[in-house]
Amino acid sequence: MLRFEDVVQARERIAGQLVLTPCTPSEAFGEEFGGHAWFKFENLQRTGSFKERGALNRMLLLTEDERRRGVVAASAGNHAQGVAFHARRLGVPATIVMPVRTPLVKVSNTRRYGARVILHGSVYDEAMQRALELRDAEGLTLIHPFDDVQVMAGQGTIGLELLEQCPEMDVLVCAVGGGGIIGGIACAIKSVRPEVRVVGVESATLPAAYRALEAGHVVTIPPGQTIADGIAVRRIGENSFAALQRWVDEVVLVPEEEIADAVLMLLEREKTVAEAAAATTVAAVLGGHVKDVAGKNVVMVLSGGNIDVGVLSRIIDRGLAKDGRLAFLRVVTDDRPGALAQLTAAIAELGANVLQLSQRRSIGGLWLTEAEVDLTLETRGREHVDELTAHLRELGYRVALE
């Protein structure tokens, strides 16, 4: 069982070898829920996530023989990078098993840090099974991503920092994957300030911790798909489950759509890149899933920023479309010279920008003298789109929103 002393010792052990990440207030986000928002920027660690805290603490406890033989880990990305980065610093050979569908940025970064990377299985559980096989076959030491007391103690150093950086903290909100980070943080905070409310967050599509707490024991949940790949775990750890039961007040669930919205909000308003798993904390608070936060000092842990560029691009496009800042119009116009120029001029007149355009003729529903134009437009929002479509209809165009 994790102890407060383990976290204190971990902080002394890893001191000076990690980034002391800031915890700063955000008026913009506080206004959203009528309280005081604070962000702990673990996405500013050198490998882009909190995971290196636990990995480093565990590896510093290796014997000389274990260092010589090397370590093995299974991870969807962040733990892999943390192990690989610090293993190279310590001169320890590292083997990382990653699911085949791990985002490319995490795979390439892990290789760049010098680890031997093996892609195996479609999910974390299958990658872990392969890691266990390599451990036994090659005499490696397993660095577990969450179900290890010393890994949890390393993650718990975040909690000690928060007690100093935000002494007025009332509520702490943290994502839950395997449960290592929230277990460690909760142990640290509750041991000093038991009145602080600690809330965990999971995607509603993979509620492993929620179901375990509901059942009273660790359970394996069915597979599910989530953009929050960093917390895509079907079974939490036994050690982390014990910590959750003892120190975490509740675990809440957030839908995928709200997670995507939170990624975009952090990018636009806080000017920070947070991966989807990290953004679940914002989704939980702003979506009203964490109750009684009005007037409270709420600290949200941004656990990582290693998001695939392709995924980020789709999140941005989807968010812009949802807000009406990206609009898709289908317009029927005359098929004659200059007609397309007149249409785009009418759009420009109202301040919309044409991002993409395609034209079709001779299809069902059109006269021989007509053409259909598909437009992707950059606008100022929904009211602007309504104004634009009304203007085009006044000019005689048939307009449909896609």
User: Catalytic amino acids?
Assistant: 51, 303
Report residue 221 as tokens. Answer: 């949940």
Cβ-contact 184, 159 below 8 angstroms: yes
| 378-383-389-390 Cα dihedral, nearest 10 degrees | -150
Indicate the residue type of 112. Answer: R
The CB-based long-range contact list for 316-324 (8 Å cut-off, 24+ gap) reads 316/264, 316/267, 318/260, 319/260, 319/261, 319/264, 322/261, 323/381, 323/382, 324/379, 324/381, 324/382, 324/383, 324/384, 324/385
Three-state secondary-structure class, residue 141: strand
- State how far the Cα of 82 lies from the Cα of 149, in Å rounded to an integer: 17
Report residue 92 as tokens. Answer: 């320890």
Three-state secondary-structure class, residue 267: helix
Q: Which residues pair with 25 in a beta bridge?
A: 38
The string of DSSP letters for 273-311 reads: ---HHHHHHHHHHHTT-S-S-TTSEEEEEE-B----HHH
Cβ-contact 59, 90 below 8 angstroms: yes
Q: Are strands 398-401 and 326-334 parallel, antiparallel or unpaired?
A: antiparallel
User: What length does the chain have?
Assistant: 402
Cβ-contact 315, 256 below 8 angstroms: no
- State how far the Cα of 70 lies from the Cα of 112, in Å rounded to an integer: 18
Report residue 29 as tokens. Answer: 């986000």
Cβ-contact 173, 291 below 8 angstroms: no
Q: How many CB atoms lie within 10 A of CB 106?
A: 29
